DNA sequence: ATACTGACTAATC
DNA sequence: TGATTAGCCAGTA
């Protein structure tokens, strides 16, 4: 039980799929839900690697709400358009108001992930 | 095994 | 007040 030493990157994919439609999460938030609060950088790296289409990577922004350059997307405006198509308003500086569109996960969510990942 | 990378963040200056 | 620096750590070569 819980001994699943799954890749951190795989965890990232699982957590990201839980980001609700029309909401965004931060790298740090994802990292925290994966049980590694300081792995925010790895989150971005993981998403870049996991861009299989099954992971809503466009819903992840940095802690200030800025779209992270979108270098992994085909063009810089793609992430923005994807978000807008979900109803997420993106500011002129490619910025999202986290107060409004940030995913506010519950403690239950965190506990569920913790259980799922085995909380190392 | 060691070195380098990187879609970040928090702490300093 | 904003800009810079250093820390972070799993994955890859």
Q: Which bases along strand B come within 7 Å of a protein CB atom?
A: 5-10
**pLDDT value at residue A3:** 43
Interatomic CA–C1' length for residue A38 and nucleotide C7, angstroms: 9
Residue A3 within any structural domain of the chain: no
Interatomic CA–C1' length for residue A62 and nucleotide C13, angstroms: 28
Residue A2 within any structural domain of the chain: no
**pLDDT value at residue A94:** 87
What is the extent of the structural domain holding A53? 8-115
**pLDDT value at residue A15:** 95
Total count of domains within chain A: 1
**pLDDT value at residue A87:** 97
Interatomic CA–C1' length for residue A39 and nucleotide C11, angstroms: 12
Domain at A57, CATH number: 1.10.10.10
What are the average pLDDT values for consecutive 10-residue runs of chain A, which has 120 residues?
66 94 96 92 87 84 84 71 94 90 94 84
- Taking each helix axis from N to C end, the angle separating A40-49 and A8-16, rounded to the nearest 10 degrees, works out to 80
* A66 CB-to-strand C distance under 7 Å: no
Are A55 and A16 within 8 A, CB to CB? yes
């Amino acid at each position: 039980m819980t001994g699943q030493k799954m890749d951190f990157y795989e965890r990232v994919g699982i957590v990201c799929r839980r980001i609700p439609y029309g909401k965004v999460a931060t790298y740090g938030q994802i990292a925290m839900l994966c049980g590694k609060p300081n792995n925010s950088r790895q989150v971005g790296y993981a998403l870049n690697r996991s861009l299989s289409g099954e992971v809503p990577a466009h819903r992840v922004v940095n802690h200030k709400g800025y779209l992270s350059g979108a270098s992994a997307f085909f063009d810089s405006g793609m992430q923005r358009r994807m978000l807008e198509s979900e109803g997420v308003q993106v500011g002129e500086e490619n910025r999202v108001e986290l107060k409004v569109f940030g995913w506010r996960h519950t403690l239950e969510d965190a506990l569920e992930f913790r259980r799922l990942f085995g909380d190392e």
